[in-house]
Each structure stands twice: as C-alpha cells, then as structure tokens.
C-alpha cells in the first residue's frame, strides 16, 4: 500500500512539473518587457510551491523557483529537501513486578501428630484395632512368626517411612517356647536395629509378649490359653491406643 501511494505521488509531481515548466516559459517571455536597470536586482513573482498531497508522506519535499541575482539569466530551479519530523519514541513499558511467594508450610510442625502408626506382630495382634487422635493405625499380622520373621518384614512395611510416626512391635510368644532367653534378647536387638536403619524418625514401641493363661483371667483368653479373646483384644487395643497418643 505504501508503494502504491508513493507511485501515485510521483505521477502527481510529474504533472505539476509539466505545468510549472509551461508557466516558466510564459514568465520568461513576459520578463523582457519589465526589465529595469541592469545594476539593480530583478524582482519576480512569489515562489510557487507544490500543494501537498493527501496521501501519507514519509519524506516531504518542496520545489521553488528563484531568480539568479545580479543578471538576467534564466530562472534557476532549486530543490530543497526537508526531513520529516522524527516520531516521538516511547519507552517500553516497565516489566511487571515480581512477587516472591513463600512455599514454606507453616503447618509443618503439625505433621508429627498427623502421621500414621503401624502394629507388627504374630497372631496375637490379629484382632487388635488401635486408634489415634489424628492419623490411622495399620495392623500387620504374621501368624506363627518369630522375632526374626517380623524383622524380615520391616523393610516392606516401612518403605514409606516418612508417613509412619510410630511402630508397635508385638512378637516373642513363639520364641518363649524355646526357652532361650539370651537368643531372644539378641533377636529383639536385631529387630529394633532393623527398624532404626529403615526409618530413623519412627518411634519404636515394644509390646508383649503377653503372659499365658492364668486362673482368674479366663475371659481375656480363648480356650487355647494363648490367643486373646474378644475382650482381651479390646483391652490390648486400648492399651496400645493410649500409648500411641501419649508419645
């Protein structure tokens, strides 16, 4: 579009140039009759300027004709070029302000009370259902397991150790039958060390083994005298729940 406008302007200038040449020839023929003293300056008609076109210009130019001073020679065509006014430059807008958003969790200190707990043991904990004020308690029962058997299951249970706040270890009832006290103490030490190496931040609670059947406590045990009855399982669950809430 700009090229079309420039071409149109050039055509208009050529037409105006032809008209001005005709006017100049007429002025030169009439100038002979109004000559004065050769020592004085000749006067002429005001400069003729080209009318501005309505089309947009990127560079404006004016053409005028002035007489040569001091003699009666021909008119001299003089072209003056004027530069277009520079457009005011506007500075780019300032960048938007950057706001720093803190990602620190102000509720982080409360995570300790919201973490879950687990109970790991043999068949004694089959019906144990402990509770927490916040969080859940998961029970993992391995019937017939000894202390070292429970220790072998710890890595799989505590694979996400950050979400486990405490672990209750209830084992040893199947080891007491062997009557090897020193071996049982060494196995418990190995179990505790496995928990610490797997999840150092997890609290460790050792529960049991429970005493065997005694006279006067028939309602706490089943007929085999080893596994807790429904009442015994509820009592064991309450004891574990109170312990977990106190830590």
> End-to-end distance of the chain based on CA atoms, in angstroms?
83
What pLDDT digit, counting tens, does each position of 110-136 carry? 344 457 899 999 999 999 999 998 889
Q: Output the pLDDT for position 106.
A: 44
Cα–Cα distance measured from residue 232 to residue 247, given in angstroms and rounded to the nearest whole number: 23
**How far is it, in rounded angstroms, from Cα 174 to Cα 208?**
11
pLDDT score for 32: 56
- Position 165 scores a pLDDT of 92
pLDDT at 53: 47
Strand 61-66 versus strand 76-81 pairing type: antiparallel
Taking each helix axis as running N to C, give the angle between helix 147-157 and helix 181-198, from 0 to 180 degrees, rounded to the nearest 10: 0
For the record, the structure tokens of 48 come out as: 């003729």
pLDDT band at 14 (very low <50, low <70, confident <90, very high): confident
- Predicted local distance difference test score (pLDDT) of residue 65: 44
pLDDT in tens, 164-197: 899 999 999 898 888 788 999 999 999 999 999 9
In this predicted structure, which of 75-79, 123-127, 221-225, 240-244 has the lowest mean pLDDT?
Answer: 75-79
Per-residue pLDDT at 21 exceeds 70 = yes
- In angstroms, rounded to a whole number, what is the distance separating the alpha carbons of residues 209 and 174? 9
- The yes-or-no verdict on residue 236 having pLDDT over 80 is yes
Q: Which pLDDT band, with edges at 50, 70 and 90, does 95 fall under?
A: low
134-163 tens-digit pLDDT: 889 999 999 999 999 999 999 999 986 567
Place 241 in a pLDDT band, splitting at 50, 70 and 90.
very high
- Amino acid 75: pLDDT: 47
- Residue 244, pLDDT > 90, answer yes
* Residue 52 phi, psi dihedral angles, 5° rounding: -75, 140
């Amino acid at each position: 579009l700009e090229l079309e406008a420039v071409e149109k302007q050039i055509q208009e200038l050529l037409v105006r140039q032809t008209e001005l040449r005709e006017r100049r020839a007429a002025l030169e023929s009439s100038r002979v009759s109004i000559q004065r003293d050769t020592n004085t300056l000749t006067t002429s008609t005001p400069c003729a300027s080209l009318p501005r076109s309505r089309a947009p210009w990127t560079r404006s130019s004016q053409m005028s004709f002035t007489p040569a001073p001091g003699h009666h020679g021909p008119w001299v065509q003089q072209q003056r070029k004027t530069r277009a006014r520079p457009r005011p430059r506007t500075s780019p807008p300032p960048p938007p302000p950057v706001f720093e958003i803190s990602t620190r969790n102000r509720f982080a200190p409360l995570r300790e009370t919201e973490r879950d707990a687990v109970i790991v043991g043999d068949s004694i904990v089959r019906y144990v259902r402990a509770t927490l004020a916040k969080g859940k308690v998961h029970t993992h029962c391995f019937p017939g397991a000894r202390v070292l058997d429970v220790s072998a299951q710890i890595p799989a249970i505590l694979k996400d150790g950050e979400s486990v706040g405490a672990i209750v270890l209830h084992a040893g009832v199947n080891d007491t039958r062997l009557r090897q006290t020193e071996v049982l103490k060494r196995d418990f030490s190995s179990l505790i060390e496995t928990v610490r190496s797997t999840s150092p931040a997890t609290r460790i609670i050792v529960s049991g083994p429970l005493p065997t059947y005694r006279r006067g406590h028939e309602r706490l045990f089943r007929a085999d005298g080893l596994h807790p009855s429904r009442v015994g399982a509820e009592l064991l669950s309450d004891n574990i729940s109170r312990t977990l809430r106190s830590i």
